[in-house]
Amino acid sequence: MSSSRSIDEDVTRLFNENLRKCTIHMRCEACGQSCGRPYIQTESFTRWLRSRAPKTSSKIYADLLLAAAFRKSPMQMINVEQLTGSQCCLVVFSILFQFGRGDLIPLFIRRKIGDGKLPIPLLELKEILQDERRQASDRGSQSHLRDMGDTDVAEAFNKRQWAFCAATFDDQSSHDHGKDDVVPICRKTLITDKGGTAVLWRVAAQEEFVGQKLRDLSKRTRFKDPDFGWVRDLLMQECCGHDNANRL
């Protein structure tokens, strides 16, 4: 038991460390500080989840995290192929694992809430979890949510999902973002704020968040940032509450 607990603690620590490494805080040259909402390099983080764990014969880190999530749970553990298969749920599981409820992943899989469905509207998620609790009550069984209310789970999930779902820059010049959307800018330099209602910025976006069409159109703007790796230079105009991004 102590050996299992030690493995769980180690893999949880590695999970948190790699999540921090993949979390980006924008550098604003205008104020000299990190500002804006942080976002996660999801491709890099899920690549780590799929990587082979040392000192194991064939397990990946997602295997060990699943074992840790279900160690004290009454729910039946799933196999890792259900996380990594065609209906990938690695991000969904990671969000749940962050607030200690990775064992809820079977419920999300059963309800077909995979990575491709993110971000899921908060109201829809609340309704799904409320329905799960009602069905458990009708069966006379304990809800998988146990001591957490369906609203608590939904709000904890919603709070964390947006960092994993940063927007993507594409070949369209105009981007209208909602209040929950996270714009994945890693570096931002003010060009001018003397345009009346508009402010013009030079921004850098990591290639993971630049669509293929825009990458093809902006090959000459590609450079390696010393802190953020390969990025693309863009111009962003903030005007009347909207962001309009154009390649340089």
Tell me the C-alpha distance between 92 and 245, whole Å. 29
Residue pair 112/134 in contact (Cβ under 8 Å)? The answer is no
DSSP letter at 79 equals: P
Q: Do 106 and 92 form a contact (C-beta atoms < 8 A)?
A: no
**pLDDT classification of 1: cutoffs 50, 70, 90:** very low
* pTM of model > 0.85: yes
Which amino acid type is present at position 143?
S
Task: Look up tokens 């060990």; give the residue.
Answer: 64
Q: Taking a C-beta distance cutoff of 8 angstroms, is the pair 242, 174 a contact? A: yes
Task: Tell me the pLDDT band of 144, cut-offs 50, 70 and 90.
Answer: low
Model confidence pLDDT, tens digit, residues 51-68: 999 877 789 999 999 999
* Pairing status of strand 222-225 against strand 229-239: antiparallel
Q: What percent of the chain has pLDDT over 90?
A: 54
Per-residue pLDDT of 183-221, as tens digits, reads 999 998 888 777 666 788 889 999 999 988 888 887 888
Q: For residue 129, give the 3-state DSSP assignment.
A: helix
Q: What angle do CA 28, 33, 35 make, to 5 degrees?
A: 65
- Report, as an integer, the average pLDDT of 88-107: 96
**Per-residue pLDDT band at 143 (split at 50, 70, 90):** low
Nearest to 60 by CA among 77, 28, 84: 84
pLDDT digits (tens, 9 = 90+) for 26-47: 988 766 667 778 999 999 999 9
Q: Are strands 222-225 and 198-206 parallel, antiparallel or unpaired?
A: unpaired
CA 181, CA 165: separation in Å to the nearest integer? 8
